[in-house]
Every structure is written in structure tokens, then in C-alpha cells.
Structure 1
Amino acid sequence: MTVPQWSVAEVRIWLGNRGMGQFSETLCVQHKVDGQVLLSLTETDVREMIGTSCLGDVKRLTLAVKELQLATPTPYDHIRSSNGSSPAKAVYARFDSEGSTLSDDALTHKRISRRLEPEYSKLFLSYCYMFSVFLITAFVMVIVHDRVPDMEKYPPLPDIVLDNLPYIPWAFDACEAAGVVLVLIWTVTMFFHKHRFIVLRRMFSLAGTVFLLRCFTMLITSLSVPGAHLQCSPKNYDSLWSKLQRAIAISKGFGMSLQGVRTCGDYMFSGHTVVVTLLNFFITEYTPRRMHWLHTLTWVINIFAVFFILAAHEHYSIDVFVAFYITSRLFLYYHSLANNRVLHQGDRRTRIWFPMFSFFESTIDGIIPNEYEWPLSLPWRSAAKSD
């Protein structure tokens, strides 16, 4: 009988065999811990249940549970390593996001997620969240355009990069073209990725959060126009409705100059840098580690897109730096929490400071493997099945 099939009585026997029978009353009688519950326990759970200040007891019981977790077969245990290592290690050798075999210590905390349901309702909510934030961002862009400083009174601020980089008229269009290339690569990746709905949910939630932060930074301080060629001046709209109409126009054009959208005042921080950086990181994370050429390509596109933004003198250097830093850090923090079972499930601070993360990732208990499939059912295959 496997561990998930253990009854409460069998958990009591296991505790006795491990020399921890003193915890039987608490775990088995008071909390009714069976095999499935036992496998889900974290150190925080153990500490709360046994209610002891003795660190040795907490650690011994936690390590015993972790041994069971590693020894319990997973849906990927059919993957065996050539050197005869354990199934769990074979799984991590195959799916480690860093491209190398994880250590025994890493195996204690990381594992391939066992529950990978698409959860369409969460996907829909994450999209609504991102869409709402984009509308708010467009409206804030209209407001900050009204507040843009007079160019004659407030000339461009000193900037080490812009002062030494000649203005290139076509550079901003080149930046947006680079973004379109990344969108195409990302679309193809998501078309074939087996867990596309989980990944898209993560992208929507991250994009919404970053752009929500951008709304605050745009409103807090109005920077002067970074280049005289922009010819920016305040625009006074007569009514709230006219502002909403302008915000809708910005949203329809995705804020892109290629779509005829020109805005001023939305400098801190660069939305274009956010988009190309997010696309780069998601493509790199959710494509096979061996595709080095693709990862190199996306990084080169990301770097050149940032260069084109500066060459177009559309943003100050600090706008681009802050945008890249915030976007990359949020991406890494989100995935570190999502991939680490101990931080994800056992730390109450995660639920307090990242409530949206806790909701969207509530059923994910490990790493999302990069698996691919043909998503469309072919007509002749459907006919064969019906026969």
C-alpha cells in the first residue's frame, strides 16, 4: 500500500516505527492525519500541530515527512536516469529550470507540480485584472499628459546616456518592431505548451501588477520631456468623457506609435521596456533549456529594444533601468515562490503580502514542466476515434 493510501491507523504505526509515538495522539487523534495529509505537511504545519518549543522534535518529524515525500512516486516517476539514481532525482534532472541536476537539499523543497489543471476561471479573472489595469493605465496617461511640464520652462534633465547618444528618428519604431517579434515567438510557444493556461495566467497577473505600479510612479512625479523633438505640451480635456475617449483610443492602439498613439508625461517608468522584458523572461522560462539559440535571440532583442528606446530619446535612462529592474525582480520573486513548496504553502507572510499570488497559485505545488503538444484535434483523428 502506498503512502497516500495510508489510513490514520497506519500513520500511527509509522510514527511508532520511527520512534515518534509520542506524537500519535496529536497527529492521529486530534488532527486525523492520514497518508495524503501526511505528505502535504510542512515544517510550519508540524510546529503548529505538536505545539512544542523543542526544535529537535520539530526537525525530526519534519525530516521524516520529507523522506516520505521524496520516496513517494510522482506522475513522472517513469523517467529513470541512466546511472540508476532515484526516480525523484531523474525527474529533477529532466525538468530543473536551471538546466542542471538539483541537489538533495533542493529536492527537499522543489518538485514537479502534481496538480496542473488549467482552471479557466482563474485564467479569466487574471485576464480581467490585466485588462482593467491597462484601462486604468491609459486613463492615467491622459492625466499625466495634462500635467507635462512646459518645455520652455523645464528643459530635458541631464542624462549621461541621452547626452552622449545621438537622436535616431526611426529608433522607437524599431523598438516596437522588436516587441512584435517577441510577441510572435511567445504566441507560438504558448500554442504548443501543454500547460499554456497556467502560464498565461501567470503572465496576465504579472503584467497587471507591473503596470499598476507604473500608474503610481507616473502620477507621483511629472518629469520634464526627455527630448526637444517630442514637442509635448499639456492637453486640457473639457470633460471626464473626453478623457475616457482618449484613454480608450490609447488602449485600442496598445500605446504604440506604430498604431498612431503618441503620449507625453508617462516617463517613470518605461512601459515598452516592461513589455519586451516580460516577453523575454517568459519565453526563456517556458521553452526547453537546450534551446540556447532561442534564449540568446530573445535576450539580444530585449537589449536592442532598450537601446532603441534610449536612441529615440523617448525615455530617460532611469526610466528604462527602473522598468527592467522591477519587471525582472517581480518575475523572479513570483516564480521562486511558486516553485518552492515551503515558501509557497507554509509561510503566512506570502498570503498577506501577495494575496493575488496565493489565490492564483493555490493549487500549484511545484515546478511547471515544459511539455508540449499539438492543441488542435485533427479531423481524421476524430473520425478514427469515432470508428
Structure 2
Amino acid sequence: MGPRSGCSVGTWTCEQVGHWLENEGFSDYVDLLCREHRLDGPGLLSLTEADLCSPPLRLEVLGDIKRLVLAVRRLQRENPAALQELGITSAGGHFGDCQRHGLPDSPPGQREGAVRLDPEYWKTALSVVYVLLVFGITSFVMVIVHERVPDMRTYPPLPDIFLDSVPRIPWAFAMAEACGLILCSIWLLVLLLHKYRSILFRRMCSLMGTVFLLRCVTMLITSLSVPGVHLQCSRKVYGDIWAKLWRASTIWLGFGMTLAGVQTCGDYMFSGHTVVLTMLNFLITEYSPRSWYFIHTLSWVLNLFGVFFILAAHEHYSIDVFVAFYLTTRIFLYYHTLANTCAYQHSRRMRIWFPLFSFFECNVGGTIPNVYSWPFSQPQFLRSLIIADRSE
């Protein structure tokens, strides 16, 4: 006799769940689910696909996962009273989360309904405040390190394999910034047309702010000598705190760009221009359709050429650019891996070590599908004309 004929599923013991699993053809998982993890009736009814895919279960046979999911869904439909008693309002409503735990992609429409993608504009506004504050701190730190830049007569440029081998190109740094402006234009277009632009913009601000905050630390810890005598850098004292703040505001408003007339010294480890180029490249390739091969190729070409132009201008040491590229790519990939899998999103360790990530991503339930929509509503007069034309 099956366990369902004796009593309500909500009162099943681990042994009865084991009998049900054997009857449904899942005898291989009785020890794992019932004996090792003590899964009883209520636990079975609330079992989700995410539970099966993620630790501590982490089932590896996709066919078994899907069949077990369908069996539990059928059990939920057959026991609505038990579901209501447990507070589960939608049979099968827990499933569809496996895409964020490493299983193959679902179709865009299905994946869209399986994850929570609320725009949460107030969090996006806070992320903008965060990144602007970090840029302000970075600008002030750049003023501080300018006052500590080593004297070139005492500390000449350090040996560098690339800088010692490639002659300086005077116009190269302007070309690097031009590459950045093109990448920025492409990213703004993708961001404008993306359906989940609020989440994307929030992630960009969070990542940019975090990397530049780390850059503040590295600039303050060690002051490298000027990479080239052409820079004519010398220690500059700005006087009182107000003079420093005024200079910092100039750097902040000019985004630290030489095209905007900003000239800085001492902010070498690591390259902020490389950070921006690389971050924009990764944002474009992550949030644009995989079929946009030309855009992805152009994005990588602009990123790599921009890095080359930075070095060709002798504005940074090679180690500055290498560290900037490595840190930016790692932080971007780590952030998105955690956000897409949700494996540690609500863990205590994540809240302690990455509080900003936990705060911004706590209500984003998985991978962001690349769905696009026109951001502006149709004017009322145009909508009226369309309705009138259809009525005729």
C-alpha cells in the first residue's frame, strides 16, 4: 500500500517518503534524501528544483532532477489542502530556479518568469550615490598622492620591459580616451534599450565604485616614481584643505580625463583608464545578444587598443595596466557568477564580506535575460492616430 493512502502527505515520516520515492522509481535517492537529510512529508512538498541543484544535495543527473521535479509537482496538485496548511500557495511555483544553479539555459520567456527582476529604483539611486562618492574620494586621494610623488632626480623611472622597448607616442593617450568614449557610447545605447536597465545600471555603479575604492587604497599605500620624464611631474602642495577639495572637484568634474584638461601625477597603481575600458567592454559583451558578433569584436578591439595606447603614451607602467585589467575582469566575473547562481547570496559569510553585493542583489533571482524594449512611451497624439487608423 502506498503512503498516500494512509494519511495526509503533510504528516508523512521520512520512512513514508522513502516508500513514495521507491514507488516513483527514485530508490537510488532514498538514502540521500530520507536517511542522510531526513526529508519528511512537509519537506517533500516544499522541495524545489533549486534544492536539488545546489548544496547540500547537488544532484548531477539532469534526467533524474527533472523527473523528480515533475513527481513532486504532481504530488502538490493532488494535495492542495496540505499545501495550504504549509503556506505554499502555488503548486510548482518554487520550480524554475535551476538555471541559476548551473543547469542549461531556459528559453528567455520561461527564464524571465522564473526569476525576480524588480527594478528597485531606490537601490539604483543609492548605487549612483555610492559611485559618485567613491569618485569623489578617488579625486581627493589623487590630490594627496600628487603631493607625495617622488622627485624624478632622486627616483628616476623604474625599469619596464614594454616602456623600455616601445618609443613614446605623444598622441596615444588621447586615443586611449577616445576608445573609452566610443565604448561608453555603445554601452549607453545597450543600457537604454535593455528591459532591465535599472538592474544593469546598478551593477555598473556597484562594480565601478568597488574597483575604484580599491584603487584608492593601492595609490595611498605605495607611491611609484613617474614612468616617463616627459610628464614633468613634481611634488605639488595645494595648501589648506579647501584648496585640496577645489582641486579634487576639478578632477571629479573632468572624470580624470586629459581630454577634459585634467592632468594628474602619482596615481599609477593601478590604471583607472584601463579599469574603465575593461569594465565597459565586459558590460557590453555580457548584456548584449550573443549574435552581435560585430559589436563584441569591436568592443574587445577598442579595449585592447585602448590598453596599448595607454602604454604607448608612457602614462603608466606595464604593471599598472596588467593589475587593473586582471582585477577588473576577476571582480566582474566573480560578481556575476555569484549573482547568477545565487548560491551564497543570502549566506552570513556573504553579508559580512560582501555587504554591498548582498544588499543590491538580494532580490534579483538569477541571470538577467537580454530582453530589449523601447524606453519611451508613445506620445498620446501618435497613439490616437494609430487607434483611429485601426478602427477605419
- Under TM normalisation by the shorter chain, which class is it? 0.7 to 0.9
In the TM superposition, residue 366 of structure 1 has moved relative to its aligned partner by 1.4
What does residue 38 of structure 1 align with? 47
Conserved? CA contact 2:274–2:321, under 8 Å: yes
Conserved? CA contact 2:49–2:69, under 8 Å: no
Describe how 1:99-248 pairs up with structure 2 within 5 A.
113-248=114-249
Conserved? CA contact 1:42–1:342, under 8 Å: no
Opposite residue 17 of structure 1, the aligned amino acid is W
What does residue 105 of structure 2 align with? 92
Q: Aligned in 2, Cα 1:162/1:234: closer, same or farther, shift over 3 Å?
A: same
Q: Aligned in 2, Cα 1:249/1:46: closer, same or farther, shift over 3 Å?
A: closer
Conserved? CA contact 2:340–2:366, under 8 Å: yes
SS of 1:209 mapped into structure 2: helix
Q: Aligned in 2, Cα 1:339/1:69: closer, same or farther, shift over 3 Å?
A: farther
In the TM superposition, residue 271 of structure 1 has moved relative to its aligned partner by 0.1
What does residue 361 of structure 1 align with? 361
Conserved? CA contact 2:134–2:212, under 8 Å: yes
What does residue 299 of structure 1 align with? 300
Opposite residue 92 of structure 1, the aligned amino acid is D
Conserved? CA contact 2:174–2:258, under 8 Å: yes
Opposite residue 121 of structure 1, the aligned amino acid is W
User: What is the CA deviation profile of residues 5-39 of structure 1, one whole-angstrom value per residue up to 9, with x for unaligned ones?
Assistant: xxxx655569463367979xx8779xx7695x533
Q: What is the distance in 2 between the residues matched to 1:115 and 1:375?
A: 20
1:352 aligns with 2:352: yes
In the TM superposition, residue 343 of structure 1 has moved relative to its aligned partner by 3.9
In the TM superposition, residue 67 of structure 1 has moved relative to its aligned partner by 4.3
Conserved? CA contact 2:49–2:95, under 8 Å: no
Conserved? CA contact 2:49–2:65, under 8 Å: no
Q: What is the distance in 2 between the residues matched to 1:372 and 1:10?
A: 44
TM-score (norm: length of structure 1): 0.77
Q: What is the distance in 2 between the residues matched to 1:312 and 1:330?
A: 27
What does residue 4 of structure 1 align with? none
5+ residue gaps, structure 1, are: 1-8, 48-57, 78-88, 96-109
Opposite residue 375 of structure 2, the aligned amino acid is P
1:341 aligns with 2:354: no
Q: What is the distance in 2 between the residues matched to 1:34 and 1:93?
A: 24
1:18 aligns with 2:21: yes
Opposite residue 149 of structure 2, the aligned amino acid is V
Q: What is the distance in 2 between the residues matched to 1:198 and 1:231?
A: 43
Conserved? CA contact 2:146–2:236, under 8 Å: yes
Percentage identity across paired residues of the two chains: 53
What does residue 105 of structure 1 align with? none
Q: What is the distance in 1 between the residues matched to 2:54 and 2:190?
A: 38
Conserved? CA contact 2:49–2:94, under 8 Å: no
What does residue 375 of structure 1 align with? 375
What does residue 258 of structure 1 align with? 259
SS of 1:161 mapped into structure 2: helix
Opposite residue 39 of structure 1, the aligned amino acid is T
5+ residue gaps, structure 2, are: 1-7, 23-29, 74-91, 97-101
In the TM superposition, residue 151 of structure 1 has moved relative to its aligned partner by 1.0
Q: Aligned in 2, Cα 1:59/1:44: closer, same or farther, shift over 3 Å?
A: closer
Q: Aligned in 2, Cα 1:12/1:358: closer, same or farther, shift over 3 Å?
A: farther
SS of 2:47 mapped into structure 1: helix
User: RMSD of the alignment, in Å?
Assistant: 3.5
Q: Aligned in 2, Cα 1:386/1:246: closer, same or farther, shift over 3 Å?
A: farther
What does residue 310 of structure 2 align with? 309
Q: What is the distance in 2 between the residues matched to 1:90 and 1:216?
A: 39
Opposite residue 223 of structure 1, the aligned amino acid is L
What does residue 6 of structure 1 align with? none
Opposite residue 363 of structure 1, the aligned amino acid is N
> Which structure has the larger Rg?
2
Q: What is the distance in 1 between the residues matched to 2:360 and 2:189?
A: 24
SS of 2:363 mapped into structure 1: coil
Conserved? CA contact 1:173–1:257, under 8 Å: yes
Opposite residue 18 of structure 1, the aligned amino acid is L
What does residue 320 of structure 1 align with? 321
In the TM superposition, residue 266 of structure 1 has moved relative to its aligned partner by 0.1
Q: What is the distance in 2 between the residues matched to 1:176 and 1:326?
A: 20
User: What is the CA deviation profile of residues 119-141 of structure 1, one whole-angstrom value per residue up to 9, with x for unaligned ones?
Assistant: 01111111111111100000000
Conserved? CA contact 2:117–2:364, under 8 Å: yes
Opposite residue 341 of structure 1, the aligned amino acid is C
| Mean Cα deviation higher: 241-250 or 65-74 | 65-74
In the TM superposition, residue 156 of structure 1 has moved relative to its aligned partner by 0.5
In the TM superposition, residue 42 of structure 1 has moved relative to its aligned partner by 3.6
Opposite residue 297 of structure 2, the aligned amino acid is T
Opposite residue 195 of structure 1, the aligned amino acid is Y
Describe how 1:16-95 pairs up with structure 2 within 5 A.
17-18=20-21, 38-39=47-48, 42=51, 67=66, 71=70, 92=105, 94=107
Opposite residue 353 of structure 2, the aligned amino acid is W
Q: Aligned in 2, Cα 1:38/1:141: closer, same or farther, shift over 3 Å?
A: same
Conserved? CA contact 2:191–2:197, under 8 Å: yes
In the TM superposition, residue 66 of structure 1 has moved relative to its aligned partner by 5.5
